[in-house]
């Protein structure tokens, strides 16, 4: 079996991952596995390797409703000058604003790589979205308590409040 990256050497490192019931496999030679950081305990993920090889991208375009991403090849980030072609080559983005520039291309990719496409974790203290997220979290705790004590009336009220908060567009802090 030949290495998926250099297509020259015999592959000795075989990686398999199952993400959302889809099996992804990759075979690497010793040299490429080192070069790709497969031996780096913190840095490596199969998905990132696949990005570099364009595998995930093909998969994601196949599953997305929009057809091939041809015209976007010329797309260029206004902040850092990074292009879609650069992304295909490097598998990394140029700057934080690239997420906006390449939002369309990334959408499908993020869907294949991750559990969801919306951040549900920590929010920096200074971020306006923090207030809402905190409130939602607090209400959710109360909701759980209400359900546990079988206070369903209260649970229904809390559920509505959470729904309302979540539906709000991102509030801008006025202070």
Partner 1 sequence: MTLDSFLASPSDAAKRSGPNDRIVLSSRVRLARNLRGFPFPGWAKKGDRLKSLEIIREAVSGLPQMENAFAEAMDNLNPLDKQILVERHLISREHAAKTVGSGLVISKDESLCVMINEEDHLRMQALRPGLQIRQLWQVMDEFDSALEKKLDLAFNSKLGYLTACPTNVGTGIRVSAMLHLPGLVLAEQVNQIIQAVNKLGFAVRGLYGEGTEALGNVFQVSNQMTLGEGEIEIVERLSKVVAQLIEHEENARQKQIEKSPKTVLNHIGRAYGILANAHSISSKETMNLLSLMRLGIDLGLFPGTDRNLMDELFLITQPAHLQKNYTEKLSAEERDLLRADMLRDRLLKVSRPIPRFPGAEGTTLDKPASP
Instruction: Pinpoint the alpha helices (H) of the chain.
Output: 30-35, 46-53, 55-63, 84-90, 98-101, 103-113, 129-148, 152-167
Given 99, 151, 163, 173, the residue binding partner 1 (CB under 8 A): 99
x/- mask, Zn ion, residues 25-54, rule CB under 5 A, reads: ----x--x----------------------
Give how many residues touch partner 1 by CB under 8 A: 55
Quick one: 93 or 157, whose CB is closer to partner 1? 93
When the beta carbons of 138 and 151 are compared against partner 1, the nearer one is 138
Please list the residues that pair with 22 across neighbouring strands: 19
Quote the Cα angle for 149-153-159, to 5°: 95
| 108 touches partner 1 by CB under 8 A | no
CA distances from 34 to 10, 15, 114, 171 (A): 14, 13, 25, 46
Residues with Cβ within 8 Å of residue 85, at least 6 apart in sequence: 73
Locate 72 and state its tokens: 């976007």
Contact pick of 5, 113, 155, 158 for Zn ion (by CB under 5 A): 5
Question: How far apart are alpha carbons 130 and 98 in whole angstroms?
Answer: 23
Of 59 and 97, CB closest to Zn ion:
97
* Cβ-based nearer residue to partner 1, 95 or 156: 95
Residue of the chain from 64, 75, 93, 136 that contacts partner 1 (CB under 8 A):
93
Binding mask 40-79 for partner 1 (x = CB under 8 A): xxxxxxxxx--x----------------------------
Binding partner selected for residue 164 from partner 1, Zn ion, none, CB under the kind-specific 5 to 8 Å limit: none
Whole-angstrom distance, CA of residue 40 vs CA of residue 45? 9
């Amino acid at each position: 079996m030949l290495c998926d990256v250099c297509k020259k050497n015999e592959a000795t490192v075989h990686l398999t991952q199952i993400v959302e019931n889809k099996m992804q496999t990759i075979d690497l030679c010793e040299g490429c596995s080192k070069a790709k950081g497969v031996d780096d305990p913190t840095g490596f993920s199969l998905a990132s390797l696949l990005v570099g090889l364009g595998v995930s991208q093909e998969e994601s375009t196949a599953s997305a409703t929009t057809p091939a991403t041809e015209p976007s090849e010329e797309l260029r980030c206004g902040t850092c000058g990074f292009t879609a072609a650069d992304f295909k080559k490097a598998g990394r983005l140029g700057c934080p604003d690239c997420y906006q520039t390449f939002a369309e291309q990334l959408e499908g990719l993020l869907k294949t790589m991750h559990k969801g496409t919306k951040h549900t974790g920590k929010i920096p203290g200074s971020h306006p979205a923090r207030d809402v997220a905190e409130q939602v979290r607090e209400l959710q705790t109360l909701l759980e308590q209400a359900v546990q004590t079988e206070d369903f009336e209260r649970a229904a009220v809390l559920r509505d409040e959470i729904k309302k908060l979540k539906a709000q567009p991102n509030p801008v802090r006025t202070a």
